[in-house]
Amino acid sequence: MKLVCGNSNRSLAEAIGNYLEVPLSNCLVRRFADQEIFVEVQENVRGEDVFVIQSTSYPANDHLMELLIITDALKRSSAKRITAVLPYFGYARQDRRASGRTPISAKLVANLITHAGVNRVLTLDLHAGQIQGFFDIPTDNLYGAPVMMRDIKERYPLDNTVVVSPDVGGVVRARALAKRIDAQLAIVDKRRERPGESEVMNVIGHVEGRSCILVDDIIDSGGTLVNAAEALLARGAKDVTAYITHGVLSGGAVARIAQSRLKELVITDSIQPTEAVKAAPNIRVISIAPLMGEAIARTAQEKSVSSLFD
């Protein structure tokens, strides 16, 4: 087995390597003067089972191109099998045509990855489940819920906790976590007037006097989460914590979270945390390296990956 990574999240790749007790392979990824990407795999990979660890996070286009070019380099170096390990799959929010004359970018990116020469994909908490079917190669979509569940059980008295979905679209995810920790479920009814802006309309479920745990897959601007927390507190919630898999946190999101009434925002390291995230008083990062590492090991050994979901 060989582990290769680009520049998107080297700290996570190193943590996965430590879990597997496999060092990262020497792979040079640099830029020419005009910012074209140059890749050189600096060790033999002929006949090897290679895992390329690369989140397509900001800057998404650069990191996607790194993934494609690394894959091409490995393919031309006679690697036996190439698995793209995508802790965060960018462009996942464009998974359908919401209006006329718009793309389905998630399918386009899936095609690019497939045609570059990737043999299989391993990813985490896709924004929409159907994206797994956009790939014409074997694709395993892991879930962050087991990692979050362990953290919640260590920190919260579950007899007075309710899991909350910040919108109707996330009900399945929130219900799955609520079932795992044997908690009740509530839903925030949200209406979005325009992209990037949201308005909370109503809370469905009993939250008064209870600790609320908001659950979602992506936090970008943070507006939805802050509005949902305000709505829950206005309806008598004791406190509000959020568990989010992918901390995109673009623009002024970190400052918005820091100034909000959220008790804590817990994100995973699927996207490399910025210095601002590390310095924020109410943002905490938990690692998915053991989960991703175990999935990589099982893939390499041709063992079941689905048992990790239990």
Q: Catalytic amino acids?
A: 190
Can you give 43-77 as a three-state secondary structure string?
CCCCCCEEEEECCCCCCHHHHHHHHHHHHHHHHHC
**223 labelled as ligand-binding?**
yes
**130 labelled as ligand-binding?**
no
63/57 Cα distance (integer angstroms): 7
Q: Is 217 in contact with 223 (CB distance < 8 Å)?
A: no
**220 labelled as ligand-binding?**
yes
**57 labelled as ligand-binding?**
no
**222 labelled as ligand-binding?**
yes
Distant-in-sequence, close-in-space partners of 271: CB < 8 Å, separation ≥ 6: 9, 55, 57, 58, 87, 88, 246, 247, 248
Q: Is 71 in contact with 23 (CB distance < 8 Å)?
A: no
**170 labelled as ligand-binding?**
no
**117 labelled as ligand-binding?**
no
Q: Is 177 in contact with 148 (CB distance < 8 Å)?
A: yes
**192 labelled as ligand-binding?**
yes
**167 labelled as ligand-binding?**
yes
User: Is residue 180 classed exposed, middle or buried when 0-12, 13-18 and 19+ CB atoms within 10 A define those classes?
Assistant: middle
Closest CA to 169 of 143, 188, 185, 193: 188
248/256 Cα distance (integer angstroms): 13
Closest CA to 139 of 147, 129, 152: 129
**35 labelled as ligand-binding?**
yes
Distant-in-sequence, close-in-space partners of 40: CB < 8 Å, separation ≥ 6: 27, 28, 73
**140 labelled as ligand-binding?**
no
**139 labelled as ligand-binding?**
no
Binding-site sequence positions: 34-36, 93-94, 127, 167, 192, 216, 220-224
Binding-site sequence positions for ATP: 34-36, 93-94
Binding-site sequence positions for Mg(2+): 127, 167
Binding-site sequence positions for D-ribose 5-phosphate: 192, 216, 220-224
